[in-house]
Amino acid sequence: MSGVGQRSLHQTAVDQFQRAAELIDLNPSYREILSHPKNEIIVNFPVSLDGGSKKIFTGYRIQHNNLLGPFKGGLRFHPDVDLDEVKALAAWMTFKTALVGIPFGGAKGGVTINPGDYSTEEMRRVVRRFTHALGSNIGPDHDIPAPDVGTSSSTMDIVMDTYANISPPGFRQSVKGVVTGKSIEVGGSIGREEATGRGVLYSVRHWCGETGIRLDELSVAVQGFGNVGANFAELAAAAGCKIVGVADHTGTLVNTTGIDVVKLRHWVGENDGIHGFPGADTVGDEELWDLDVDVLVPAALENQVTVERAERLRCRVMVEAANGPTTADAEVVLAGRGIEVIPDILANAGGVIVSYFEWLQNKSARAWSFADVDDRLRGLVWQAHDRVVERRRDLNCSRREAAYVVALSRIADVYDRRGIFP
Q: Which residues here bind ligand NAD, judged by CB under 6 A?
A: 147-150, 196, 223-229, 247-249, 299-301, 321-323, 348, 351
CA distance 320 to 377: 18
Q: How far is the CB of 44 from ligand NAD (least distance, A)?
A: 24
3-class state of residue 69 by DSSP: coil
- Specify whether the CB–CB gap between 360 and 141 falls below 8 A: no
Nearest distance, CB of residue 93 and ligand NAD, angstroms: 9
CA 379, 380, 386: angle at the middle one, nearest 5?
Answer: 90
Q: Which of 26, 244 has the CB closer to ligand NAD?
A: 244
Q: For residues 218 and 300, which CB has a smaller minimum distance to ligand NAD in the complex?
A: 300
Nearest of 106, 93, 100, 102 to residue 403 by alpha carbon: 100
| Cβ pair 216, 176 in contact under 8 A | no
- Smallest separation, CB 396 to ligand NAD (Å): 29
Q: How far is 183 from 178, CA to CA, in rounded Å? A: 14
What stretch of H or E contains 106? strand 106-112
Q: Find the catalytic residue in 72, 96, 108, 182.
A: 108
User: In angstroms, what is the minimal distance from the CB of 393 to ligand NAD?
Assistant: 27
Q: Which residue is nearest to ligand NAD (CB)?
A: 226
Active site residue 108: yes
| Closest CB to ligand NAD among residues 148, 331 | 148
Q: Is 30 left (phi over 0), alpha (psi -120 to 50) or beta?
A: alpha
Distance of closest approach, residue 12 Cβ to ligand NAD, in angstroms: 14
Which one, 21 or 354, has the nearer CB to ligand NAD? Answer: 354
Nearer to ligand NAD by Cβ, of 131 and 303: the residue is: 303
Q: What are phi and psi of 319, to 5 degrees?
A: -110, 110
Residues marked active site are found at 108
